[in-house]
Structure 1
């Protein structure tokens, strides 16, 4: 969300939190722009994003900031931010649901391999379809643009805007990587499973987990923690509206 505007500075008491948030955002921006993201790096980045939202929530709960943001001239910004927070919550919720479907199917595939079912390849193809759907859903959410803020915008608004942009970029990258891995001729699910079957190895559930399931579960946990932090920030914004 582009912000061509003036910002209203924080009170001096807020500066330690602001500096922490800005330092983490600077690292995250450099990470996203590096083009060398992996699922493991994204998992760590999502934790860092959660820390930034924790700092922002602390800022929103400070009485000095609440008093300033509760003035009528700032209410337009609060309304826009509440709208933006709903879109990001929807994105996280949809991503969690898709990850849960993927996780369930990977477990089902592991059971099918152990039982030697003939439908293994079709199950692998269905797994690929689930990852494609998850990637498509997150791309749709990224394409949804919030109304740009204009005029005097509180500095916390700029922090929230930057953090939201980074969060959507990280989620987009995460599902893009999962899709690339699923479709890869060397590291995709079917080449891995096919190779193991050709060697007549007994494939246990743990071996499938090591390739896909652990990353999916860790990403799901990361999104769950991030979702809770987003809810706290939204509640803090709503509390400001009630002042």
Structure 2
């Protein structure tokens, strides 16, 4: 009986050693945040969905912060042949995030200047300032599209992901690029045609005048609505001062949208800086 018990104990011990080791809770947390963000990539880009993505990125960077404190991460990074690529990637993310912040700041300034012009009630001056805003938008779109082309090349580059830690950090980099890319596309698009049909224009304006459903509000592009309202002024399709009021209403929504984006981006930017510093400290240890 004693011999049987001893053999059973030995057998159990051997089997337990063969079981896969359980992932660290922080590793699981990073994976969960990545999965949530990847699941949201297919969602229609709206200001509300983009804010949710930016909030999700903040949660992801908080979990990355915890990951960088683990001894297993220190060892993985020290032994990682792709560490230079990860460092370069973190710097590029900071640059793109800073660019998005600058774009939003410029948009806010332009929107504020236009809103001030609309209060003057002088038709000739309003038309001048509307054209100034539209010209500024064209230059901004052109600059954003150049950045987006570079981002496609950068985000498609993949390094050695044999290490789980390396895979998580690279995954965080790619998903962050993707979310900021969606934000920049939201700002740069849509490209309004030089000649919109009268029916298309009236349809757009009617949508802004009636009470929208919650679903329609959730999918609304505040940048587009300002562009459409301004386009109607330059084509003088309706009563001028009615159009001015449409623009003012659209600008108020846009400024609120920009405010939310700026707050989320600033919080994300601070987390990205903190994690890059932690990353560099590990390598200099």
Give the TM-score, by structure 1 length.
0.80
For the residues of structure 1 that align with 2:146 and 2:267, how far apart are their CA atoms?
20
**8 Å Cα contact 1:131/1:179 also seen in 2:** yes
Residue 17 in structure 1 maps to residue 59 in structure 2? no
2:226 to 189, 196, 202: 189
**8 Å Cα contact 1:56/1:156 also seen in 2:** no
- The corresponding residue for 1:7 is none
Higher alpha-carbon deviation: 48-57 or 184-193: 184-193
Higher alpha-carbon deviation: 140-149 or 220-229: 140-149
For the residues of structure 2 that align with 1:70 and 1:21, how far apart are their CA atoms?
16
SS in 2 for 1:145: helix
SS in 2 for 1:148: coil
For the residues of structure 2 that align with 1:125 and 1:201, how far apart are their CA atoms?
16
Shift of 1:61: 1.4
For the residues of structure 2 that align with 1:83 and 1:173, how far apart are their CA atoms?
21
Q: Which runs of 5+ in 1 are unaligned?
A: 1-10
- The corresponding residue for 1:107 is 112
Q: Which runs of 5+ in 2 are unaligned?
A: 1-20, 194-200, 205-223
1:93-151 residue CA offsets vs partner (Å, 9 max, x unmatched): 11111111111001001001111324133133124225413531440341342763227
For the residues of structure 2 that align with 1:39 and 1:49, how far apart are their CA atoms?
15
Which structure 2 residues correspond to residues 198-237 of structure 1 after superposition, within 5 A?
198-200=240-242, 203=245, 207-237=249-279
Shift of 1:38: 1.2
1:120 to 117, 123, 129: 129
- The corresponding residue for 1:8 is none
Shift of 1:182: 6.9
For the residues of structure 1 that align with 2:184 and 2:119, how far apart are their CA atoms?
28
Residue 40 in structure 1 maps to residue 77 in structure 2? no
Which structure carries more relative contact order (alpha carbon 8 Å, separation 6+)?
A: 1
Aligned length: 227
Give the TM-score, by structure 2 length.
0.69
For the residues of structure 2 that align with 1:55 and 1:98, how far apart are their CA atoms?
28
For the residues of structure 1 that align with 2:191 and 2:137, how far apart are their CA atoms?
6
